[in-house]
Chains A and B, each alone.
Chain A
Amino acid sequence: MSNYCLMLLIVMSIFAKVAHADTLTIYSATDRSAIAPLLEEFAALYPETNIDYVEFNTQELYDELVMPAQPTPDVVISSAPDLQVKLVNDGYALSLDNLPDMSPEQPWAQWSDELFGFSYEPIVFVYNKQAFAQHDVPTTHEALAEQLRDRPDFYNGRIGTYDAANSGLGYLVATQDEVTFSLTGRLQESLGRAQADIHCCTSILLNKLSQGELVFGYNLLGSYAMARALKDNNIDVIVPEDYALVVIRSAFVHQATDNPIVATNFIRYLRSPAGQKTIAAHSALLPLDRSLEPHSDVRQQLTKPTNFHPIRLGPELLLYLDKRKREYFLNRWQQVMKHATP
Chain B
Amino acid sequence: MLTRTALLMCAVLAILSVGVWHYANTSADYSYDRLLSSASVSMLDGISVSGEQINIDLPYSAFEILQLAPDDKVFYGIYGPKGRLLSGYNDLPVSNDDIVSATQQPYYSLRHYRQQKVRFIVRSKRLSERSVAGDVTIVLGQTTQARDSQMRDTLYTALTTLMAVMAIALLVMWIAINRALAPLNWLSDQLQPDSAMQDNSLPDTRILEVAPLTHAINNYRHQWLDALGSMRDFIADASHQIRTAQATTKAQLEIALSAKANTIDKASVEAIYQDHTKLTRLTNQLLAHATVLHRGDRKAFFAIDLNQMLKEVITHAVRDYAHTDVEFEYLGPEHPLSMYGDEIVLKEALRNIIDNAVIHGQSDQPDHLNLIRISIKQGDHSYEICIEDSGFGIPEHARAQALERFAKVGPNQHGSGLGLAIAHSAALTHEGQLTLGTSSLGGLQVSLRLPNQSESVTHYVEQDHV
Are chains A and B native binding partners rather than an unrelated pairing? yes
Q: Which residues of A contact B (CB under 8 A)?
A: 88-91, 107, 111-113, 179, 312, 314-316, 318-319, 322-325, 328
The answer, among A107, A112, A323, A328, for a CB contact under 8 Å with B73, is: A112
Interface size class of B (residues with CB under 8 A): 20 to 34
* Residues of the A chain whose Cβ atoms lie less than 8 Å from the Cβ of B60: 179, 316, 319
Q: Which residues of B contact A90 (CB under 8 A)?
A: 114
Alpha-carbon gap, A239 to B375, bound state (A): 139
User: Shortest CB–CB separation between residue A312 and chain B, in angstroms?
Assistant: 8
Q: Does residue B262 face the partner (Cβ distance < 8 Å to A)?
A: no
Complex interface residues of chain B between 55 and 94 (CB less than 8 A to chain A): 55-58, 60, 62-64, 66-67, 70-75, 78, 86-88
Flag if B87 contacts A322 (CB, 8 Å).
yes
Chain B residues closer than 8 Å to A107, beta-carbon distance: 70
Which of B58, B64, B116 is close to A322, meaning CB atoms less than 8 Å apart?
B58
Given A91-B115, A322-B58, A323-B87, A112 and B72 contact (CB-CB distance below 8 Å): yes
Cα–Cα distance between A322 and B115 once the two chains are bound (Å): 23
The residue on A at minimum CB distance from B86 is A324
Contact A89 B73 (CB under 8 A): yes
Assess the B74–A112 pair: CB atoms within 8 A: no
Q: How far is the CA of A316 from the CA of B72 in the complex (A)?
A: 11
**Does B246 belong to the interface (CB within 8 Å)?**
no
B145 contacts partner chain A, Cβ-Cβ < 8 Å: yes
In the complex, A315→B63 CA distance in Å?
Answer: 7
Query: Contact: B56 with A319, CB < 8 Å?
Result: no
- Is B55 within 8 A of A328, CB to CB? yes
- Give 15 pairs: A residue, B residue, CB < 8 Å, sorted on A: A91-B116, A107-B70, A111-B70, A111-B71, A113-B71, A315-B73, A315-B74, A316-B66, A324-B56, A324-B57, A324-B78, A324-B87, A325-B58, A325-B87, A328-B55
Chain B residue with Cβ nearest A91: B114
The closest CB in chain A to the CB of B145 belongs to: A112
Residues of the A chain whose Cβ atoms lie less than 8 Å from the Cβ of B116: 91
Structural contact, A314 and B70, CB atoms closer than 8 A: yes
Are A319 and B63 neighbours in the complex by a CB distance under 8 Å?
Answer: yes
Q: Which residues of chain B in 138-177 are interfacial with respect to chain A, using CB atoms and an 8 Å cutoff?
A: 145
User: In the complex, A112→B58 CA distance in Å?
Assistant: 23
A3 CA / B231 CA spacing, docked (Å): 97
| Cα-based distance from A89 to B56 in the complex (angstroms) | 22
Q: What separation, in Å, do the CA atoms of A91 and B74 have in the docked complex?
A: 11
Report the Cα distance A90→B92, complex, angstroms: 12
Docked pose: A318 CA to B63 CA in angstroms: 8
Which residue of chain A has its CB nearest to the CB of B89? Answer: A90
| Contact string against A for B residues 186-224, beta-carbon threshold 8 Å, 1 for contact and 0 otherwise | 000000000000000000000000000000000000000
With A91-B114, A315-B66, A316-B64 known as contacts, the answer to whether A325 contacts B73 (CB < 8 A) is no
Q: Which 3 A-B pairs have the closest CB atoms?
A: A316-B63, A324-B56, A112-B71
Residues of B within 8 A of A91 (CB): 73, 114-116
Considering only residues 23-69 of chain B, those with a C-beta below 8 Å from chain A are 55-58, 60, 62-64, 66-67
Partner-A contacts on B (CB < 8 A): 55-58, 60, 62-64, 66-67, 70-75, 78, 86-88, 114-116, 145
**How many A-B residue contacts, CB cutoff 8 Å?**
58
Q: Contacts of A312 on B, CB cut-off 8 Å?
A: 67
| CB closest residue in chain B, given A329 | B57
Q: Report how far A111 CA is from B116 CA in the complex, Å.
A: 16
Chain A hits for B57, CB < 8 A: 324-325, 328
Instruction: Kindly state the separation between the CA atoms of A316 and B59 in the bound complex, as whole angstroms.
Output: 10
Residues from chain B with a CB closer than 8 A to the CB of A328 are: 55-57
Q: Which residues of B contact A319 (CB under 8 A)?
A: 58, 60, 62-63
Q: Nearest chain A CB to B403's CB is how many angstroms away?
A: 100
Q: How far is the CA of A324 from the CA of B47 in the complex (A)?
A: 10
Least distance between B45 CB and chain A CB atoms (Å): 14
A317 to chain B, nearest CB (A): 8
Q: How far is the CA of A328 from the CA of B56 in the complex (A)?
A: 8
Query: Which one of B63, B64, B116 has the greatest number of beta carbons of chain A within 10 Å?
Result: B63
> Distance in Å from the Cβ of B142 to the closest Cβ of chain A?
8
Nearest Cβ distance between residue B38 and chain A, in whole angstroms?
15
Q: Least Cβ distance of A112 to chain B in Å?
A: 4
> Are A322 and B71 in contact, with the CB atoms below 8 A?
no
B96 to chain A, nearest CB (A): 22
Bound complex: CA A41 to CA B18 (Å):
54
Is the beta-carbon distance between B145 and A315 smaller than 8 angstroms?
no
* Residue in A closest to B69 when the chains form the complex, CB atoms: A315
CA–CA, A319 to B55, complex, Å? 15
Q: Which residues of A contact B88 (CB under 8 A)?
A: 322
Complex Cα distance, B421 from A124, in Å, reads 129
Instruction: Supply 7 further A-B pairs (C-beta < 8 A) apart from A112-B73, A319-B62.
Output: A91-B116, A107-B70, A316-B67, A322-B56, A325-B56, A325-B57, A328-B56
User: What's the nearest-Cβ distance from chain A to residue B205, in Å?
Assistant: 65
- What chain B residues lie within 8 Å of A323 (beta carbons)? 87
**B47 nearest CB neighbor, chain A only:** A324
Least CB separation from A327: chain B residue: B56
The reply to whether A315 and B115 contact each other, CB–CB distance below 8 Å, is no
A111 to B66, CA, bound (A): 14
The distance in angstroms between the C-alpha atoms of A328 and B58, with both chains bound, is 10
In Å, the complex CA distance between A314 and B71 comes to 8
Closest B residue to A332 by beta carbon equals B57
In the complex, which residues of chain A have a beta carbon less than 8 angstroms from the beta carbon of B63? Answer: 315-316, 318-319
Residue of B nearest to A92 (CB): B114
Enumerate chain B residues within 8 angstroms of A322, measured Cβ to Cβ.
Answer: 56, 58, 87-88
Chain A residue nearest to B85 (CB atoms) is: A323
**Residues of A close to B86: CB separation below 8 A:** 324
Residue numbers in A under 8 Å from B72 (CB-CB): 112, 315
Q: List, in ascending order, chain B residues with CB within 8 A of A324's CB.
A: 55-58, 78, 86-87
- In whole angstroms, how far apart are the Cα atoms of A112 and B70 in the complex? 8
B73 cross-chain contacts in A, Cβ below 8 A: 88-89, 91, 112, 315
Alpha-carbon distance A148/B73, docked complex (angstroms): 42
A112 to B145, CA, bound (A): 9
A334 to chain B, nearest CB (A): 16
CB distance from A107 to the nearest CB of B (A): 8
Q: Bound complex: CA of A243 vs CA of B300, how far in Å?
A: 111
The distance in angstroms between the C-alpha atoms of A323 and B70, with both chains bound, is 23
User: Assuming A323-B87, A325-B58, A328-B57, is B71 touching A318 (CB within 8 A)?
Assistant: no
Question: How many Å from the CB of A248 to the closest CB on chain B?
Answer: 15
Q: How far is it, in angstroms, between the C-alpha of A151 and the C-alpha of B443 when the chains are bound? A: 160
Question: Given the complex of chains A and B, what is the CA–CA distance between A316 and B58 in angstroms?
Answer: 11
A88 to B86, CA, bound (A): 23
A318 vs B62: C-alpha distance in the bound complex, in angstroms? Answer: 11
The interface residues of chain A lying within 8 Å CB-to-CB of B62 are 319
